Structure 1
Amino acid sequence: MEIDPLPNGSGSNAATGPETAATTTAITVTSNTAPSSKLSHLTESLKLEHQFLRVPFEHFKKTIRTNHRTVEKEVSAVISSVTDVADSDEISKDDAILSLTSLVSRLQGIKRKLEEGSHAENLQAHRCRARLDHLDSADAENLSEWNNVRLKRVLVDYMSRMSYYDSAMKLAESSNIQELVDIDVFQEAKKVIDGLRNQEVGPALAWCADNKSRLKKSKSKFEFQLRLQEFVELVRAENYMRAISYARRYLSPWGATHLKEFQRVMATLAVRSHTECAKYKVLFEPKQWDFLVDQFKQEFCRLYGMTLEPLLLTYLQAGLSALKTPYCYEDDCTKEDPLSQDSFRKLAMPLPYSKQHHSKLVCYITKELMDTENPPQVLPNGYVYSTKALKEMAEKNNGKITCPRTGLVCSYSDLVKAYIS
């Protein structure tokens, strides 16, 4: 799928990594206030396994919805055919036999689709059960082995996001963790991304149709942006009459909610693709396709409850932040220190220092400093916000908290408290 990691130190989303890293580190580093036993650390760590369970569960629900729509459509067609035959007063014996034969064949096809759908649902349900069993198997005695499996899962996640599917599959098979990883989910996304990079919106529109209800619920603009780009391509090809027909059919329904964007793109019929006006010229630039790729990655991750960054990057940032001190950047830093290497120093540059050096964390929501009086809290998906911001959000929504980055909904009791000095 090649979901690229966000660049460190640029933009509000980029701050997510260091923020999460510093707080996650604060949870795991032993201090006077943080839990010190292995079991307590394991309990806190399991609360961050949100993506591990959310992805197969969402895939399971999607499979059920797809199978339901398919069967409902086929059954409706069969009932309609039976009604037409029953209402026909002048039908010969041969036509009746032919119609019945056709219905039997269609019913057999429905039976086959039901069996295939049931098999797919059982596989998804089994995968969800395997992950629950895996989390349930974690205890203080096998913590080292369990963390080793987690590392392999993280590596497979990274390889899948970077489109190294063969390597990801081999690692999963050699480690016997096929049911604990989501390679097939990323392969599904790769088809859409490859289509957009080839300047084809067909696969992306098909994906939007399959997930129409979920995208509508989240008020996504992705389908509208795809339609806009398809309209622009018709204008670029100087196929103006077809572009007008396309706008009437596919863009006009969005006019009530996205009027300004609709008006702007319709103006391209007058200014044409060779315009020098910056406001409209940008619509014809190739980077618009890159924007659609980035937008799809965000919608895809939101749909499955994934983090935008690879898990490997998040864990790496957490580890580097825990090790980072001013001493690491001095000339006499020991070679045993990972941050003595230039590559690690470069990665750790935008990250805060470890908590012993009073790193400063700023809440994404309130933009206020998080300290001992306003400590950070970690959501099950790993994102960090200040206690003040989350309390205010919970009070306004009957104890429920909605992550502004991923849309995750959880209760205040689901939070993991972080400690900083």
Structure 2
Amino acid sequence: MSSGASSSNVNTEGVMLFEQPFARVPFENYRKVFRTTQRQIEKDFSAIQATTSGLVERSKNGGADKEDAIQTIDAMITRVENLKRKLSDLNENVGTPTQAVMKERLEHLSVVEDAESQTTPEYQRWSDTRLDRWLIDWTLRTGRERTAKKLTAEKDIHTLVDVDMFMDIRRIELGLLNRSCTEALAWCNENKAALRKLKSTLEFDLRLQEYIELARLRQKSEAIGYLTKHISWNDAHAQQIKQAATLLAFSPDTNCVPYKRLYDPARWDSLVRAFRLAVYSLNSLPTEPLLNLALYAGLASLKLPSCYDASCKNIDCPVCDADLGVLAQEVPSSHHVISTIVCQISGKIMNENNPPMAFPNGYVYSREALEEMAAQHGGIVTCPRSHKSCTLQELRKVFVS
């Protein structure tokens, strides 16, 4: 197989590495539905078992008459019927849609495994859809919900993007920015087991902030009650709890650094970041938009120190672009085993078919570009940087070792 053919093969492993979060989000949602259902079943069955055990015990002791037993059994039947209805509603309203999303996403990914080449129409369509998904992911992460919804509707890929999840994130973040922990704490309660597994301190930080706000309002008795009820002693947070207990002795305008830091309103911004990081961790989402990660990978393979030299700009180089160049600053320079020389005039690579030619002053350009210049100016070529002119015959061929 020729090198051109092999380069068009689909790198399935590399593609799937990027697509892990794509399949993981609905999976985590389905796990949440399963855990909710499990807790509901266990709670109701425990109540039914307790009622049954109580009825049996009373029957043994002769303390339950026939009428009482019938009423107890009727209440148990009603409870079972209510449980059945709840589970049915849960499956129809949450479980079944989540299953459908998982199925469509897996079918979407199966195109990659079945594609024989990047040039096939199926893979091209898949790549276009992937770019749409990445653009929507970027808009959602940067607070452009209206644009995300419009693009989602236009491309009809509702099941392939996580608009609802990011809308919930945005709703809770707005609550935090408005100095309310209520919705964030409710989210923590829903994901308590997962957050504990991740050893997340988000719930503690939210509780501490609510206590700080009570202290800021100088509601000392309410603050003490809140501290006692919601912030239990933990060796990992011992220092913070001690400072919190002492905070009531300091006013919000204190200059004492540890307590001034606790009263700092910037803590709310930190809570927003901590909340988003917790959501990303729970859903195995990268902290950077997928579009940025893809760009980083490409820019890292192209970036050279000369890209930031004003005299060496190449119009065809993404790193030399003003906007992408800023993004490229965060990635390392590429490491080329074999050097590639690009002509500053034409932007084409100089190789054995288009060898480099040097002016007497040492500046080098491609033969194709210089021959085209000579044809337009009667055999005379001019160096764009030094503005020195000479005939085409005076140029020297350069051999790169």
What TM-score results when the alignment is normalised by the length of structure 1?
0.68
2:126 corresponds to: 146
Q: Match of 1:281, as an amino acid?
A: K
Mapped pair 1:157 → 2:156? no
Q: Would you say 1:181 and 2:154 are equivalent positions?
A: no
Structure of greater relative contact order (alpha carbons < 8 Å, 6+ residues apart) = 1
Call closer, same or farther: CA 1:355–1:41 in 2, change over 3 Å: farther
> What residue in structure 2 maps to residue 279 of structure 1?
258
Counterpart CA distance in 1 for 2:230 and 2:224 is 10
1:118 aligns with 2:91: yes
Shift of the alpha carbon at 1:331?
A: 4.0
Equivalent position of 1:171 in the other structure: 151
Equivalent residue number for residue 246 of structure 2: 267
Deviation, 1:180, is 1.6
> Which residue identity does 2:235 align to in structure 1?
A
Contact 1:159 1:167 in 2 (8 A): yes
Aligned-pair RMSD on alpha carbons? 3.1
3-state secondary structure, aligned to 1:47:
helix
CA offsets, 1:283-335, max 9 Å, x none?
11110111111111111101100000111222233333344334444346354
Describe how 1:69-218 pairs up with structure 2 within 5 A: 69-77=39-47, 80=50, 87=58, 106-119=79-92, 120-138=94-112, 139=115, 140=117, 141=120, 142-218=122-198
Closer/same/farther in 2, CA of residues 168 and 337 from structure 1, 3 Å limit: same
Tell me how far 1:168 sits from its aligned partner: 2.0
**Offset from partner CA, 1:140-164 (integer Å, 9 cap, x none):** 2332222111101111111222233
CA distance in 2, matches of 1:116, 1:61: 17
Deviation at 1:98, TM superposition (A): 8.0
How many corresponding residue pairs?
A: 324
Which whole-Å CA distance do the structure 2 matches of 1:91 and 1:310 have between them?
A: 67
For the 8 Å contact 2:136–2:161, the answer to whether it is kept is: yes
| Alpha-carbon shift at residue 353 of structure 1 (Å) | 2.8
Code of the residue aligned with 2:208 in structure 1: it is: L
Alpha-carbon distance between aligned partners in 2 of 1:173 and 1:137, rounded to the nearest angstrom: 22
Amino acid across the alignment from 1:122: T
Indicate whether 1:224 and 2:204 are aligned. yes
The 10-residue stretch of structure 1 (162-171 or 308-317) with the greater mean CA deviation from structure 2? 162-171
The answer on whether the counterparts of 1:325 and 1:357 sit within 8 Å (CA) in structure 2 is no
Deviations 1:181-207 (A, max 9, x none): 111221222232121111111111111
Structure number with larger C-alpha Rg: 2
Greater Cα shift, 127-136 or 298-307: 127-136
State the one-letter code of the partner of 1:63: V
Q: What do the CA deviations read for 1:80-123 (whole angstroms, capped 9, x no partner)?
A: 56666785958897x99987776665544322211122222222
Unpaired runs of 5+ residues, structure 2, are 339-401
Query: Would the aligned equivalents of 2:111 and 2:123 in 1 still touch at CA under 8 Å?
Result: no
**SS of equivalent to 1:274:** coil
* Identity score, percent: 33
Q: Is residue 2:287 matched to residue 1:313?
A: no
CA spacing shift, 1:160–1:331, aligned 2, 3 Å: same
Distance in 2, Cα, partners of 1:351 & 1:236:
43
**Structure 2 residue identity aligned to 1:61:** R
| Distance in 1, Cα, partners of 2:66 & 2:176 | 52
TM-score normalised per structure 2? 0.71
Task: Tell me the secondary structure at the aligned position of residue 257 of structure 1.
Answer: helix
Cα separation, partners in 2 of 1:202 and 1:64, compared to 1, 3 Å: same
Q: Give the unaligned 5+ runs of structure 1.
A: 1-31, 359-421
The equivalent residue for 1:401 is none
**Which residue of the partner structure matches residue 27 of structure 2?**
57
Equivalent AA in structure 2 for residue 260 of structure 1: Q
**Cα distance 1:71–1:160, how it changes in 2: closer, same or farther (>3 A)?**
farther
Verify the 8 A CA contact 2:26 2:98 in the aligned structure 1. Answer: yes
